[in-house]
Amino acid sequence: MGTASRVPDHGDTDWSFRMTRTDIRFWYQGEIVSITAEAHTRTVLQWLRETRGATGSKEGCGEGDCGACTVVLASLDAQGRDGLRLQAVNSCIALLPTLDGKALFTVEDLAGADALHPVQQALVALHGSQCGFCTPGFAMSLWADYEERDRVPDAREAQQVVSGNLCRCTGYRPILDAARRCREYPLQRLDRAPLRDTLNALARTPALAYGPPGARFLAPRTLAEFARLRRELPDARILAGGTDVGLWITKQLRTLGDILYVGGVAELRECRSEADALRIGAGVSLTDAFAALCADEPQWQALAERFASLPVRNAGTLGGNVANGSPIGDAMPGLIALGTRIVLRQGDATRELPLEDFYLAYQKTALVPGEFVEALCVPRRAPGRLFRCWKISKRADQDISAVCAAFLLERDDAGHVRRARLAFGGMAATPARARAAEAALLGRPFDAAARDAAMAALAQDFQPLSDMRASSAYRLQVARNLLQRLWLEQAGAGSPAPLTLEELAS
């Protein structure tokens, strides 16, 4: 096992004056594994299959879409059962050093010496596997839910559990049945207390500083340390969940250089309610961020369930999605519509910007060297506020948006629009507000005439591009149709006519 040591002083970081640890340590198959010689960009899946010979986890897409590589990570969580939380993630895009301080479970860990685990028994009994390639990933997603949920999931919840797993031959009905039927077998749960104690012991070891200069993985434990390192290593790649950065490695074969990891900083993983805003740290996972957003504003739910997949939401962060600056990042339109402010930090100094001002050009942001995203401040729900957020894509689940739109309207006592914020993704080089359409709504009732004026004004706001997902004309028409949908919803309040496919089906 590696020992605590000082980071060699190469003149580029004063972290060399702090005691750090140079080996990656995590719990796997009943023991603490210590890694000292693997590349800092090696993926968990590569290590499992090529180094450990644990080939149950499969490599399919190599980009976190198919779920054949799904594993489960356990981490400390004061709110979890016995102080732990288990979550399914994609091992094909998870970097090996991000396992530090966690526990890793694969499909090889499920069955006992004499019997299958209830999840596996249910998949077998209900014929939930044909070719079997995808089955280990499904089993791990179901096992994470089996461990975390104290009741049988309903149909919608079961679909969410396997939203990150693709099956090409069996079909989903028997797999979804297995998600529910596995609870009918005698309960077989993980003994969490010893594992929690082990992870607590790992948490008391020094912070990780792994690898040589130019290929280091630095995982500071405090915000002050992170800020200092960021200022002194402005060219280091900041890594949060790796759900995008992982693809740079597996698909683009890029060399990342030094990596500065967000995941070890407790302050960046905080999500708290303040008087007038919800403050979401840059390291808060998408799963937890959407849970907090939906608790404050239920209208987020329509987007939250369709944002990537559950394993991606478990690993990825809202701060990472925002900092990445993609014009099709699904979180940004809703955040912009609500008037979210982004908190940027450089050293000990912080500044705030309206989120829409953070994006300067295609994947270019207002960040200056040595600066990073510390948090997002999302205004709390207010009485009388109308908010909606909708995503349009070719598939319902786990697909890239053609258009993502979010609307916020506030009206005065006379019913006139006093505030309008309309934000879109997929319509321009950056997520952006439709300011001409907003102006067409202000100071007048949100009636059919105002709707038509705003729909027409969208052509002044956007000249969308055409690509493999959608044509320019289609995108503009969809944007107009979503504004029409907003009008129909508010105009038809209390009407028995269904406005969504879900309502029609029920």
Separation between Cα atoms, residue 437 and residue 427, nearest integer Å: 14
Give the phi and the psi of residue 163 in degrees, each rounded to 5.
-65, -20
**Contact criterion met (CB below 8 Å) for 200 and 183:** no
Cβ within 8 Å of residue 494, ≥6 positions away: none
Structure tokens belonging to residue 216: 């280091």
Separation between Cα atoms, residue 86 and residue 161, nearest integer Å: 13
Strand partners, 71: 89
Separation between Cα atoms, residue 309 and residue 456, nearest integer Å: 35
Whether residue 116 is predicted with pLDDT greater than 80 in this model: the reply is yes
CATH numbers and ranges of domains, the chain:
4-108+191-261 (3.10.20.30), 118-184 (1.10.150.120), 269-379 (3.30.465.10), 386-503 (3.30.390.50)
Separation between Cα atoms, residue 309 and residue 93, nearest integer Å: 14
- Encode pLDDT of 338-379 as tens digits: 999 999 999 999 999 999 999 999 989 999 999 999 999 999
Separation between Cα atoms, residue 412 and residue 62, nearest integer Å: 51
Q: Spell 272-299 as b/e; 16+ CB within 10 A means b.
A: eeeeebbbbbbbbbbbbbbebbbeebeb
- Encode pLDDT of 175-184 as tens digits: 999 999 999 9
Separation between Cα atoms, residue 319 and residue 342, nearest integer Å: 9
Q: Please list the alpha-helical segments (H only) found in 128-220.
A: 135-148, 155-161, 172-181, 192-203
Cβ within 8 Å of residue 271, ≥6 positions away: 278, 279, 280, 281, 284, 288, 289, 292
- Encode pLDDT of 271-328 as tens digits: 999 989 999 999 999 999 999 999 999 999 999 999 999 999 999 999 999 999 888 8
CA-wise closest residue to 417 among 455, 456, 386: 386
CA angle 91, 94, 96 (to 5 degrees): 100
SS3 label, residue 393: coil
- Encode pLDDT of 55-111 as tens digits: 999 999 999 999 999 999 999 999 999 999 999 999 999 999 999 999 999 999 999
- Encode pLDDT of 430-488 as tens digits: 999 999 999 999 999 999 999 999 999 999 999 999 999 999 999 999 999 999 999 99
pTM of the predicted structure, to 2 decimals: 0.94
Whether residue 7 is predicted with pLDDT greater than 50 in this model: the reply is no
**Contact criterion met (CB below 8 Å) for 265 and 221:** yes
Separation between Cα atoms, residue 66 and residue 69, nearest integer Å: 8
pLDDT of res. 398: 84
Structure tokens belonging to residue 47: 């290590």
With tokens 């993630």, the residue in question is 89
**Contact criterion met (CB below 8 Å) for 309 and 416:** no
Per-residue HEC secondary structure of 276-331 comes to: CEEEEECCCEHHHHHHHHHHHCHHHHHHHCCCCCHHHHHHCEHHHHHHHCCCCCCH
> What is the chain's alpha carbon radius of gyration, rounded to the nearest angstrom?
24
